[in-house]
Structure 1
Amino acid sequence: MKAITFTQHGLPIEDPQSLQDAEVPKPAPGPQDLLVEVRAVSVNPVDTKVRAGTFAKEPKILGWDAAGIVREVGCEVTLFQPGDEVFYAGSIVRPGTYSEFHLVDERIVGRKPLTLSAAQAAALPLTTITAWELLFERLGVAEQSGEGETLLIVGASGGVGSMLVQLARQLTGLTVIATASRPETADWVRQLGAHHVIDHHQPMPAQLQALGLESVSYIASLTHTEIHFQQLVEMLRPQGRLGVIDDPQSLDVMPLKTKSLSLHWELMFTRSLFETPDMINQHHLLNRVASLIDEGLIQTTLGEHFGTINAANMRRAHALVESGKAKGKIVLEGF
């Protein structure tokens, strides 16, 4: 089968060897696996980090987001059958989705939204799971709650932020403040439902005060947490909660003590990595989001379509993700 692979960590994305077209054996499903014919994939920052050697030390097939059709099922599979259309984010410790066929545990797979194309659906899983778990499980916000409270999302125009804005606006009573530094990204997060937009390249506490706010209840820091940390502590109310998804080189948590602030890490791979007893929650989560999409409450966060799934197009997609200038998600479709 066709796949995109890399054989050496750390090569600049401009190097043709950084991602290569390849032929690899078609895999066979294990007991709880689905063999999915991949129709579309999207690109996430974790894809570029693994290629750079951040999380893995051996060559591999990258990619975690996918939408496709179930072609075979393992002997213990109960949730799906051949022919089902699905979307999901795979496990960080298994071969990725940049391939014609892909194996994934059924417990982290959801039904594809009926109203979306494969490309539109592929934009969603990893960032949707991250946003949902961050908001409702790590920060502890309950659905249909949050009236009178405020959520600040730092780096709101990316994939996770684009979903987080929508979930917070549609499913809670929180006032949503998004950060964006360019006119086009500010317009994007307003379109998704942000009540207010501020610029994270400018002092943020002063911009909050200009909105009539002295502090916020929750902060979701999605990028450059280390750079913004002092401001984040300043903006949080006493006993507020800070959720983080990026990878600061160091983080001195002592400034949190005076206000009794709590710090919450979110990694959507944790459940599949450790095969936790509640791993199937991601199946239920994706099905719930599919219903929200089909009801018209949530929209895809597809930002750009980069064409066919091949190494040349994938290198272009990685370059844009690495630039930090992507708006929404980059999707590739078809082999």
Structure 2
Amino acid sequence: MKAIVFNQPGLPIQDPQSLFETDLPHPTPGPRDLLVEVKAIAVNPVDTKVRARSSSQGPQVLGWDTVGIVREVGPEVSLFQPGDEVFYAGAIDRPGSYSEYHRVDERIVGHKPRSLDNASAAALPLTSITAWELLFDRLGVEENGGKGQSLLVIGAAGGVGSILVQLARQLTQLTVIGTASRPETQQWVLEAGAHHVIDHSVSIPLQLETQKLNPVDYVISLTHTDTYLAQIVEVLRPQGKLALIDDPAQLDVVPLKRKSLSLHWELMFTRSLYHTDDMIKQHHLLERVAQLIDDGVLKTTLGEHFGTISADNLKRAHALIESGKAKGKIVLEGF
């Protein structure tokens, strides 16, 4: 089967070997696996991070956002059958979906939203799972809860922020404050449903104070948390909660003590990495997201369509993500 791979980590994306096309053996599904014919994918920051840091040997396939059609099922599969249209984010310890066919455990797969085309659906799985787990599992916000409380989302125009703002606005009573630094990304965050948008390139505490929005009860930091930590501590209410997804080289959490602030880290791959008892919760989560999409409660976060799934187009997508200027999700469709 055709696949786009890399052999040597750390190469600049402009290098011809940073991503290249090759042929790989056709995968065979395990007991609880689906074999999916890949129709569309999205590119995420995790793709660029693994390409930069991986220590594995041999050709490696990236890609953790997939829409496709089930072609084969393992003997213990009970949730899907051949012909089903599905969407999912995969598992980081298995080959990714920059390939014509992909093998995935059914417990982390959902039926594709009926109302979306393949590209629009591909924008959703990884970020939806991450945002849902951040808001409801890590911070413990309850659906339809949060009345009189506020949430600050730092980096709200990216893939996770774009769906997180929607979830918080549509499924809770929180006052949602997003940050974005450019006029076009600020408008994107407002259209996603944020009550207020501020600029994270200038003082966050000052802007919140000026608009009488401080202190806040929850902060979700999606980028450069180490840079913003002092400001986050300043604006959080005593006994407030901070959740993050990025990978700071260092993070001094001692300043959280004075306010009894709690820290929550989210990695959507944890359940599949450790085969946790509640691993199937991601299946149920994606089914719920699909229904919310079909009901018109949520909308796709597709930002740009980069064409077919090819080495050249994936390099363009990686370059845009590495620039830090991506808005929403970058998708590719068809081989």
Q: Is the TM-score greater than 0.5? A: yes
Matches within 5 A, 1:1-335: 1-53=1-53, 55-58=54-57, 59-335=59-335
Question: What number of residue pairs does the alignment pair up?
Answer: 334
CA distance change for structure 1 residues 307 and 150 in 2, over 3 Å: closer, same or farther?
Answer: same
1:105-131 per-position Cα deviation (integer Å, ceiling 9, x unaligned): 000000000000010011000000000
Find the residue that maps to 1:188 and give its secondary structure.
helix
Distance in 1 separating the partners of 2:328 and 2:2: 27
Distance in 1 separating the partners of 2:15 and 2:182: 29
> 1:216, CA displacement in angstroms?
0.2
> 1:57, CA displacement in angstroms?
3.3
> 1:99, CA displacement in angstroms?
0.3
Find the residue that maps to 1:136 and give its secondary structure.
helix
> 1:213, CA displacement in angstroms?
2.3
Find the residue that maps to 1:197 and give its secondary structure.
strand
Distance in 1 separating the partners of 2:226 and 2:51: 23
Distance in 2 separating the partners of 1:117 and 1:18: 30
1:171-196 per-position Cα deviation (integer Å, ceiling 9, x unaligned): 00000000000000000000010000
Give the letter for the 1:159 counterpart.
G
1:133-167 per-position Cα deviation (integer Å, ceiling 9, x unaligned): 00000011000001110000000000000010000
Distance in 1 separating the partners of 2:56 and 2:102: 21
CA distance change for structure 1 residues 275 and 56 in 2, over 3 Å: closer, same or farther?
Answer: farther
Distance in 2 separating the partners of 1:308 and 1:22: 16
Find the residue that maps to 2:127 and give its secondary structure.
helix
> 1:214, CA displacement in angstroms?
2.6
Give the letter for the 2:56 counterpart.
K
Find the residue that maps to 1:102 and give its secondary structure.
strand
Give the letter for the 2:91 counterpart.
S
Give the letter for the 1:240 counterpart.
G
Give the letter for the 2:147 counterpart.
E
Give the letter for the 1:198 counterpart.
I
> 1:210, CA displacement in angstroms?
1.2
> 1:238, CA displacement in angstroms?
0.2
Distance in 2 separating the partners of 1:214 and 1:264: 21
With normalisation by structure 2, the TM-score equals 0.99
Distance in 2 separating the partners of 1:95 and 1:257: 41
1:281-335 per-position Cα deviation (integer Å, ceiling 9, x unaligned): 0000000000000000100000000000010000000000100000000000001
Give the letter for the 2:163 counterpart.
M
Give the letter for the 1:149 counterpart.
Q
Find the residue that maps to 1:212 and give its secondary structure.
coil
Distance in 2 separating the partners of 1:123 and 1:216: 29
> 1:276, CA displacement in angstroms?
0.3
Distance in 1 separating the partners of 2:122 and 2:242: 28
Distance in 1 separating the partners of 2:49 and 2:131: 19
> 1:56, CA displacement in angstroms?
4.2
Find the residue that maps to 2:278 and give its secondary structure.
coil
Find the residue that maps to 1:94 and give its secondary structure.
coil
Distance in 1 separating the partners of 2:6 and 2:205: 43
- Name stretches of at least 5 consecutive residues in structure 2 with no aligned partner: none
Give the letter for the 1:4 counterpart.
I
Find the residue that maps to 1:137 and give its secondary structure.
helix
Give the letter for the 2:131 counterpart.
A
With normalisation by structure 1, the TM-score equals 0.99
